[in-house]
Structure 1
Amino acid sequence: MKLKFKTQAYQTAAVQAVVDCFRGQPPASAEAISYRIDPGKAKKGVEDLFTESGFKNAELKLGDIALLQNIVRVQNQQNLPQSSELVKTKVSKVNLDIEMETGTGKTYCYIKTIFELNKQYGWSKFIIVVPSIAIREGVAKSLEITAEHFLETYHKKVRFFIYNSKQLHQLESFSSDAGVNVMVINVQAFAARGADNRRIYEELDDFQSRRPIDVISANRPILILDEPQKMEGAATLKSLEEFKALMVLRYSATHKTTHNKIHRLDALDAYNQKLVKKIAVRGISVKGLAGTNAYLYLQSIDISTKKPPEARVEFEQKLKSGEIKRVLRKLGKTDNLFDLSNGLDQYRGYVVSDINANTDTLSFTNGVELFVGEVDGDVNEAALRRIQIREAIKAHFDKELTLFPHGIKVLTLFFIDEVAKYRDYAAADQKGDYARIFEEEYSQYLNEVLNLDETPYIKYLKDIDPAKTHEGYFSIDKKTKRDVDPAVAARGENAGLSDDVDAYDLILKQKERLLSLQEPVRFIFSHSALREGWDNPNVFVICALKHSDNTISRRQEVGRGLRLSVNQTGDRMDHPAIVHDVNVLTVVASESYKDFVSALQKDISESLSARPKVADEAYFTGKVLKTATGDVEVTPQLAKHIYKYLLRNDYSDDTDCITGSYHEAKKKGTLAPLPQELQAHAEQVYQLIDSVFSDRQMFGIGDDRRPKKNPLNSNFDKQEFKELWNRINRKAAYSVDFDSAELVSKAVTELDKSLRVTPLQYTIQTGEQTALVTYDGLKDGEAFVLRATQTEKNVHSIHSTVKYDLIGKVAEGTQLTRRTTADILKGISVAVFTQFRTNPESFIAEAVRLINEQKATMIIEHLAYDPVEDKFDLDIFTTGQTKQDFSKAGDKLKRHIYDYVITDSGIERDFVKELDTCTEVVVYAKLPRGFLIPTPVGDYNPDWAVSFKEGTVKHVYFVAETKGSMSSMVLSEIEKTKIKCTRKFFDEINRRYAPENVKYEVVNSFGKLMELVK
């Protein structure tokens, strides 16, 4: 199979943030970048081979003031803290920080940034610097598998190579090639003490007596630092100076040293935008002391509609031979462990008194109580590891049962600290303890699963040999060809990690093959030191069979499994309606759920320390509200309104921190209405308030054992629901067929009316020197003191020497043909078009925005749906239902097709209560997230389908929003367009299949729904 890539808005935003920092930099000319490569001391007779030209990066033409203004503009667009100066280092005068959470594709982003910087400004020489061989191999793999994707967009490929001190001829090509060139290098290759690592600084006979670093630095490369926080040692930073970088772009989820930060996508953003997997934990809590209590492990509590809850418990049992063996059995109420253990004295008095599925507890008559995941009694390390392996296998099967029908391969990753525990060459079968335990536990659980009804999934399992479904990936001894423990760095930024290239190479070569259901390997054992080499999107279960230590944070432990999964065709499972139903990472911890989650949330909270925490007037003033009609700056007066709104409603406390009552009200949909002055931009104001961090914003980390099954009940089989489903179960294709001439006319009218371009401004600052400057920097503060600042408007563009493809830029931004774009631009008045000379970039941006608004209006006017024969399968009602967070579920329901409804707000819970108790309702359903209506602005998932009794006007109603009041309902432009499209969809369905019987409405309460019914 082949991984697919697509353009995503959040990644484009990260790329654009970098590109916009250099707005005004003219595209490089061939003359500006051509130079003669140093031939070195060539051997006699071959001098002519070394007289070729090289192509370096053009120098920055922007001054410090222009650069800083661009950076501040980018920061304002994202409401990031504004930089007061360019943060210069000895490595470069331009240092940009891009913060991106693990799993969101930062490697993809900086590769795309390379293409964009080349496209916009002509820069072509890039060096990606990484802290370890693991990341180096991963970057090289990413450059390889994204090549065709970027070729489609940019019509060119990157020439890339991994720096090798024994293959220095690649530096000649890097310098002489005029295309986009990328060198990938790990810090050990230039900042370590070994002889091979020092070659980069030495005059080498096999390199015409040149120093490799001189040939590299002559290109004025752009440095991209991947995980820069691991490259902050003095030796590394000193070595980086030698590259003479044009600029440094730093990409990380956890920056330690801050420079000019221009983009932020942190852990909270990534989770809220559904860009990474949800996290669930199976904790194992040890009670009692070894050898002092009867051994008991409560694995789970199983519920069923046909019988009372049962507890799945492991305990010891005496065999006829006298041997003591641990067995896993299901227990019911009144079961006696003394009898079941065949008379072991330690179990006297252990009679089951209660099995509580709500609290996940098992109680005995002697007062002993166990929670799911707790193990009591004689618990040594071997027992703990067996439990972890068992739980990982169970979690794997649970996920596979749900995801297999959708073509999603599930992988489980075990990290171990010693190869011999998995592969023991002294044993006849070469299996270590963990391999043996795995096969025992896997076979036992597999037998249970195979008792299910015959399905394609069961057939798939039967075809897999248990011995071939697990594999180990370790370092390989080059002499013996056997797996060995890898050599691990003992100190420095990479302490605890391996530099074994063979191990990483093997893992990465299997990346795409492992995603195929044809490949039997589903369970992977790898050494803990190789953890950074793992980057497979379909890792759904992670289990660390090792002692926890302080060198690895919980956040690092889960990082390998955060990427969103892909199916068998390589498509990423990232549709907003289902992304967190499908993408849930389970961590099987060797500690209690509470302890693991507490440590993980502490790690995440600390990573968010750079977020603002005080919501005062000063914070809100000057921030930007992004609206459909353009950006709105928060004036001091608007900032005061926001601040007073928070105070008046107790949404902020005496220290100006956001309170829990704000987040609770927002979750329930009961926020107090904003002042009149703010209501026009309500959605943006709430987003601005949410940018102030409080611990109440932290996303939940679920207990993987808590979710229970939510089976379809008898309501699903009712004739009324079948009739309802037959009426709405229609798919349709849409078309938007509007006249280009009409669009041209409307766009011209709107551009003439609304296109206004602000003239470029330039700042003149004067100052005087007050101190001497040393080589190392400034003495006692600044060398210059600013005396005056003057701002002027420039009515003539400073870009007059830059040639713009105006038609091409507008066509690209509006997705229109060049012909239609040209017709629009030709039609606008001379007075409006003249503004292009004043500020070309602003003119293009505003023109694109205004034309797109006219397009959106015409989409609705010219949209048509054409029903097709295809319908939704019934399995959309069962997909994702086995694993849900029941903390949001209320009481068992009477009229819903499931026993429970998982609601998103207090208003929605109230709606369900009234809906379920209404005697006029026969049956209703909260529609599954797979029920999607296509629209030109994205798929739409209606919430509810309701069928009423005969005698009532028999309708089916969909409720798109269930908010506090219709007047305070805040819908984005996209939501409004989706709703309008959905109305057209159901109008067409009614016209063709069910006249007058299917109705779509947006309501805010059950009362409003009944008004429409009556």
Structure 2
Amino acid sequence: MKLKFDSTLDYQRDAVSSIVDLFSDFPLRGSTFSLASQSVNQLGLTELGVSNPIPSDQGEFETVTLTKLRAVQERNGIEMSETLDGLNFSVEMETGTGKTYVYLRTLFELNKVYGFTKFVIVVPSIAIREGVLASIDLLRDHLRSLYDNVPFDASVYDSKHLGRVRQFATSNTVQLLVMNIQAFQKDVDEASDPTKANIINREQDRLAGRRPIEFIQATRPVVVIDEPQNMESAAAVAAIARLDPFCTLRYSATHKRPYNRTYRLGPIEAYDLQLVKRIEVASVVADENPNAAFVRLHGVDVTKSRAQVTINHGRGKAFKTKKLWVRPGDDLHQASDQRQEYATGWIVSDISFRPGAEAVEFTNGSEVTIGEAAESFDEDTRKAQVVETVRQHLDKEKTLRPLGVKVLSLIFIDRVANYRACDDDGNPTPGPIAQWFEEAYSDLASKPRYAALGLPPVAQVHDGYFSVDNKRRPKDTRGDSAADVDTYDLIMRDKERLLSLDEPLRFIFSHSALREGWDNPNVFQICTLNESRSTDRKRQEVGRGLRLPVDQSGERVHDPQVNRLTIIANEAYDQFARELQTEYEEDTGQRFGIVPKQAFAKLALPAGVGEPPAAPLGEAVSETVWEHLKETGYLDAAGGVLPKFNPTADDFELDVPAEVVPLRAEITDAVSRYVFANRIINARKRQTVRFRKQVSLDADFKELWERISKRTKYRVSLSTDDLVSSAVSAIAGADPIEAPKVRVRVVELEHSRAGIASDKQIDQHEYATAAPTVLPDILADLQNETDLTRATLVRILRESGRLSEFAINPQAFTVMVTAKINSVMHRQMVDGIKYEPIPGLHWEMRRLEPEASEEIERYAARLYKVQSDEKTLFDHIEIESEVERRFAKGLDDNVKVRFFMKLPAWFTVDTPIGPYSPDWAIVFEDSERVYLVRETKGSADPEELRGREETKIRCAREHFDAIGVDYAVVSRVDQVVGRVP
């Protein structure tokens, strides 16, 4: 199976042209160069090479380039640069959207348009280097087909093979040289000992006394920096400058310093355009252990010689977890309000303050680190993560296998030995994680619901990518050592093979190798198994699985219902969402929920009939509109959206400057994208389907409901014996006591410019934890809570038949028994127990109505409430813009519209450039009945629609003409009326 690449994606072509257009209409000249030997020990050899074109006048070139840069920035809606920050140009592209593809396309486009042939790709690590080389191999045929089979060579700089540098310089074909920053960062001038400088910066007899870097410098290469945020040190910046580049192109999703930002495709834009998978978080969080000597270390304070911990405190209903500071000599038995579990040596004996090894030791020999709490359910949590990963994987495989989509799961571990260890003879043995996995897979795969999958044996479905020592034993590494090279080679070589359904491997375990530089489009689950909450950056974790998947023909799958990445995280989903949002803000420099002054720069006024399309408003006009919105009370001084902006109100009309009134709806939409509250409210209001009244009116259903819906009341009167008897009955009838749980909640993270919402829960379940090892004095605790004698309590416990459950969860059992006894005692004045109906009180049928909202969950974002129920299928319509809201209202209000509906996303028309989804189906009734299909746009002028969009619309028009349906593009309802025959 070979991956296929689409050369027609608009956003990628925009990114390429944004760089290429910087140098248009300016004369560049090609040149050769010569390097003569400077060594007295060598003959006067001359090396002739071919340079990239260079400016005839560097000063004039930079002046013109700044003008070109500002023009590109304005069309891309980016704040324009006042000055040129060198010939450095930053392209920001979200992980998974084809960054490497884009910059390779850009290099070949620069060759095609301007004749550039020398390109250096600088990377920060072995992993990324291997990823780049793998991408070049995968794209070789694709690039040649796009660029008339232009010959090119790609090589890696290797100090042991300096002949490649000479070949790079002297060849007249396209040359791609991939270099690790570490290979040329140490300069002769920086080293006290010249022999400590990188070989590339030292004179070489094999090169006629020249330094290898001189060959690269003389070519004036175009330098691409892949992940430049990792190369911002002074030494790295100086090393890149020593390459003497014609220009430097910087590609990343997370720039630290965006030199001359030229193009931006951020995480929210990628999410909105459905260029990456949607993200779900399966939050796996254990209850705190209420039945043990639980201690979790949060941190240490070396200045005050103390540590902060959380422990269990109190008993029965007074139980809680308590955070406190402790010092050597402190006794947790006293600090916990005399909890029995802490009575045996839980006295602080020592605190380690060493960074990375913080710990608290106790006199009983126990030790608590930040990595793992004492008497916690951390191991249960990690095991539940493994089970959850397998379950999520098999569910997706069941759905996607018929579509020809291979499902992969990626599992990071923090210690190799936890997955694969070695015995004394060096033979590999499964670690605990491998054992958990094999148990979970064997158990789940045997269930009937997965029988049709024909799953491979457990031994074939999982494997690990780990570096090895000189005895071939797996070992922990950071991912950037020489030992990792073979590991990366194996990973990259297997990338396409892993996509085949014929390959049984589905679950991939890694220590560090896959954290950057590698991804696979068919990774649908990512699980990070740490002995504490994951401290890795969320974007790094998520980035390994964001790419859209491919099917068995190598084609990308664009179905949003398929494209969902599940992160199995050992933390609460709202915490995950908050941290992910914080990282987005840190990485992009953009605050969520704040409307920037450039928000309207790309909007364009509608052109008159026969007139050319109008230019975008631009930065200056956008700022004027922004200031107007601030002055009229829609925005605060920072750009935050104020309550006055309420587009969901029926009478709302945004006050905009007179010159942009035709763009009122588009400006309203632009501001709406930054309103976080709107998205949260709409995500919770899911009443998207009209309640089926005919069911509630059915006689049989009424009879059933009449029988089961009545309410009752009861009375109780007890003596002491009756108290025992009733308490026993109440306890015996209580819900079973369960062990504390590891709880899984799966939520979808909704991305918007307003923020990361995590309120859409789509699944939940639980796993049991291990039984407690210490049991408290239950009679003492119950006496304290009920004031009954020990003898009475013993009778109740024995006769209840539930005492064995005390050992399962002492805390929960004690709380339940206390509540039942107290409840019975509160009814002692009642003489016995008697049930009787309460006349006129019953469960009301209308309470069933909200359940109808579960029928179509996808219509839950932004809704228009239909006023004319007889006109459409649903009582709410999902709309995507203010233009659509007004159009829906116009159809709703117009008496000549007999019926209308918003067509679902899967209703598509095939076109040569991809599927097309029309917006509306309408039945219009005047003197005769007419059936219409309409597309709503801010402008109906074909000249204002982007090329690919207009092509799809033209295809759709032909399609609907062929089947006899009237089709048009409109922006207002009166245009519908005007076009009806």
Structure-2-length-normalised TM-score: 0.63
Could you say which residue in structure 1 is the equivalent of 2:565? 585
Larger radius of gyration: 2
5 Å-filtered alignment, 1:458-537, equals 458-459=451-452, 461-477=453-469, 479-486=470-477, 500-528=484-512, 530-537=514-521
Instruction: Give CA-to-partner distance per residue, 1:44-74, whole Å, 9 cap, x none.
Output: 9xx79x6553101222234332122121222
* 2:388 corresponds to 1:405: no
Could you say which residue in structure 2 is the equivalent of 1:347? none
Paired amino acid for 1:398 = D
CA distance in 1, matches of 2:376, 2:173: 62
Instruction: Return the offset for 1:476.
Output: 2.6
94-103 or 905-914, which moves further after superposition?
A: 905-914
CA contact (8 A) 1:888 1:904 kept: no
Paired amino acid for 2:963 = I
CA distance in 2, matches of 1:899, 1:182: 52
Could you say which residue in structure 1 is the equivalent of 2:165? 171
Partner-residue secondary structure (3-state), 1:476: coil
Q: Relative to structure 1, is the Cα distance of residues 134 and 11 closer, same or farther in structure 2, using a 3 angstrom cutoff?
A: same
CA distance in 2, matches of 1:565, 1:940: 20
5 Å-filtered alignment, 1:794-873, equals none
694-703 or 415-424, which moves further after superposition?
A: 694-703
Gaps of 5+ in 1: 89-93, 295-375, 453-457, 490-496, 716-881, 991-997
5 Å-filtered alignment, 1:273-672, equals 273-289=273-289, 291-292=291-292, 379-426=376-423, 430-448=429-447, 450-451=448-449, 458-459=451-452, 461-477=453-469, 479-486=470-477, 500-528=484-512, 530-547=514-531, 552-574=536-558, 578=559, 580-610=560-590, 625=604, 629-633=613-617, 640=624, 643-644=627-628, 647-648=631-632, 650-653=633-636, 655-659=638-642, 662=645, 665=647, 672=654
CA contact (8 A) 1:100 1:251 kept: yes
Please point out which of 907, 912, 915 is paired with 1:931.
Answer: 907
Could you say which residue in structure 2 is the equivalent of 1:121? 114
Q: Relative to structure 1, is the Cα distance of residues 1005 and 397 closer, same or farther in structure 2, using a 3 angstrom cutoff?
A: farther
CA contact (8 A) 1:487 1:498 kept: no
CA distance in 2, matches of 1:1004, 1:684: 11
Partner-residue secondary structure (3-state), 2:55: coil
Instruction: Return the offset for 1:451.
Output: 3.6
CA distance in 2, matches of 1:60, 1:381: 62
Structure-1-length-normalised TM-score: 0.61
Partner-residue secondary structure (3-state), 1:484: coil
Instruction: Give CA-to-partner distance per residue, 1:919-944, whole Å, 9 cap, x none.
Output: xx999997553331135775322457
Q: Percentage identity across aligned positions?
A: 35
Instruction: Return the offset for 1:528.
Output: 3.1
Instruction: Give CA-to-partner distance per residue, 1:371-425, whole Å, 9 cap, x none.
Output: xxxxx99753221111001111121122222222221111100000111111122
Instruction: Give CA-to-partner distance per residue, 1:79-116, whole Å, 9 cap, x none.
Output: 3222222223xxxxx11122111111111111111112
CA contact (8 A) 1:476 1:502 kept: no
Q: Relative to structure 1, is the Cα distance of residues 646 and 241 closer, same or farther in structure 2, using a 3 angstrom cutoff?
A: closer
Gaps of 5+ in 2: 295-372, 607-611, 695-746, 751-758, 763-846, 876-896
CA distance in 2, matches of 1:377, 1:1008: 71
CA distance in 2, matches of 1:499, 1:506: 12
11-20 or 628-637, which moves further after superposition?
A: 628-637
CA distance in 1, matches of 2:625, 2:88: 37
CA contact (8 A) 2:185 2:239 kept: yes
Could you say which residue in structure 2 is the equivalent of 1:260? 260
Partner-residue secondary structure (3-state), 1:86: coil
Q: Relative to structure 1, is the Cα distance of residues 601 and 909 closer, same or farther in structure 2, using a 3 angstrom cutoff?
A: farther
Paired amino acid for 1:23 = S
Paired amino acid for 1:484 = K
Paired amino acid for 1:418 = R
Instruction: Return the offset for 1:280.
Output: 0.8
* 2:177 corresponds to 1:183: yes
Could you say which residue in structure 2 is the equivalent of 1:837? none
Could you say which residue in structure 2 is the equivalent of 1:324? none
CA distance in 2, matches of 1:402, 1:669: 45
* 2:50 corresponds to 1:55: yes
Instruction: Give CA-to-partner distance per residue, 1:549-578, whole Å, 9 cap, x none.
Output: 78632111111111111111111223xxx3
Partner-residue secondary structure (3-state), 1:520: coil
Q: Relative to structure 1, is the Cα distance of residues 499 and 214 closer, same or farther in structure 2, using a 3 angstrom cutoff?
A: farther
581-590 or 379-388, which moves further after superposition?
A: 379-388
CA distance in 1, matches of 2:621, 2:122: 47
Paired amino acid for 1:87 = D
Q: Relative to structure 1, is the Cα distance of residues 424 and 118 closer, same or farther in structure 2, using a 3 angstrom cutoff?
A: same
Partner-residue secondary structure (3-state), 1:528: coil
5 Å-filtered alignment, 1:231-270, equals 231-270=231-270
5 Å-filtered alignment, 1:893-932, equals 902-907=859-864, 915-916=872-873, 928-932=904-908
Partner-residue secondary structure (3-state), 1:570: coil
Paired amino acid for 2:659 = E
Please point out which of 127, 134, 141 is paired with 1:134.
Answer: 127
Q: Relative to structure 1, is the Cα distance of residues 247 and 961 closer, same or farther in structure 2, using a 3 angstrom cutoff?
A: closer
Could you say which residue in structure 2 is the equivalent of 1:846? none
Across the aligned residues of Structure 1 and Structure 2, the Cα RMSD in angstroms comes to 5.1
CA distance in 2, matches of 1:139, 1:668: 53
Paired amino acid for 2:431 = G
Partner-residue secondary structure (3-state), 1:191: coil
Instruction: Return the offset for 1:913.
Output: 9.3
CA contact (8 A) 2:77 2:598 kept: no
CA contact (8 A) 1:27 1:120 kept: no
CA contact (8 A) 1:97 1:263 kept: yes
Instruction: Give CA-to-partner distance per residue, 1:110-148, whole Å, 9 cap, x none.
Output: 111111212222221111111101001111111111111
Count of matched residue pairs: 716
Could you say which residue in structure 1 is the equivalent of 2:790? none
Instruction: Return the offset for 1:445.
Output: 1.5
Q: Which has the higher contact order (CA 8 A, sep 6+)?
A: 2
CA contact (8 A) 1:669 1:906 kept: no
Instruction: Give CA-to-partner distance per residue, 1:453-498, whole Å, 9 cap, x none.
Output: xxxxx54x32511210111111133x32332222556xxxxxxx88
Instruction: Return the offset for 1:20.
Output: 1.6
CA distance in 2, matches of 1:435, 1:142: 31
Paired amino acid for 2:508 = I
CA contact (8 A) 1:668 1:905 kept: no
Could you say which residue in structure 2 is the equivalent of 1:22? 23
Paired amino acid for 1:80 = I
